[in-house]
Amino acid sequence: MSSALAIYLTQEAPASYWNPKSNLVFGENKAQIVLVDDEAENLRRIQKAGRTLDNTGAVTIEAAGSDWNLERQWALSQGFTSTLSTNQVIWNKTDEPAAKELNAMREATRFSRELTNLSAEEIYPESLANRVIEHFKALAPDAVSAEFIKGEALKDAGWMGIYTVGRASQHAPGLLVLDYNPTGDDNAPVETALIGKGITYDSGGYSIKPSEGMLSMKCDMGGAATVSGALSLAIRRGLNKRVKLLLCCAENMIDGRAYKLGDIIRYKNGLTVEVVNTDAEGRLVLADGLQAAGEFGAKQIIDAAT
């Protein structure tokens, strides 16, 4: 007999449903989420119910009954689980294709969340690149190759945005170029370039952030984590086209080598940029990724900051 708490959906509020602030009704070994006619509101209610269930101490729940679709189950999972929780959602047993897709979404999300929430001691430019490479080598070993251009090699290659932003850190900045090419053809076109901001810690530089503004800046590489998770999910779904993943990785720190207000950065394409705020570093590093995507001839480009 399953120890999971069964979660049902209903549009008929039971007589005991009296609290307008709650959309959950508990019964013996089960709970019901009361829905309305507006599906967007239903998804909000389901996610809120997931948070409420987490707060009650439940550790395993099951989407039971016949009214669950993929989006509703995902909303429940998003409310019930977090980076550190060991909670588990058992997907609805009546829809195996949805369960397979939801498993893929869950694993890709866990990967992105873990990257984003690790401390800056654990995630710095090279360790971020290595974790991403390791993940994709395990996921698609025969279709992935990668290069991490770091430190002075960035300057030699012309990637001056990443180099300039990250040169003051003890951890060398770098550009990760990960090539997912399941075609087996080295000349296959690059269908998409995914570019992510990988600022593994952002002090603001000489335009320094206040202490409270710096607290969450271990997460300033969330763009890199997001596009990495997106590619992970696409591969799990059976992606059969070539994609380049470009992560622009640096720590924005302060020392005698840090870039300063009034500095001029000359990019690979000859464009010059004057720095008027060292805490606007994201656009400076992403510019290198965008130029790299252009060099690869990517048919479409998707970039993500934080």
Q: Is the dihedral of CA 181, 185, 186, 190 positive or negative?
A: negative
Residue 209 catalytic?
A: yes
Strand pairing of 174-180 and 243-252?
antiparallel
Cα 254 versus chain centre, distance: 27
3-state SS assignment for residue 115: helix
Tokens 């991403």 correspond to 132
Please count the residues of the chain. Answer: 306
The residue annotated as part of the active site, out of 209, 236, 241, 268, is 209
Residue 150 annotated as catalytic = no
d(CA 218, CA 44): 29
* Residues 6 or more apart whose Cβ sits within 8 Å of residue 182: 140, 143, 239, 240, 241, 242
C-alpha span between 51 and 69 (Å, rounded): 19
| Residue 209 dihedral angles phi and psi, to the nearest 5° | -75, 155
Q: What is the dihedral of CA 250, 253, 257, 259, to 10 degrees?
A: 80
158: closest CA among 291, 275, 302, 304? 291
Identified catalytic residue from 51, 260, 283, 299: 283
Give the tokens for residue 77. Answer: 């999972």
CA–CA distance, 115 with 202 (Å, rounded to integer)? 16
Residues 71 and 99: beta-carbon distance below 8 Å: no
Within 13 A of 122's CA, how many CA atoms are on the CB side? 8
Strand 272-274 to 264-266 pairing: antiparallel
Catalytic residues: 209, 283
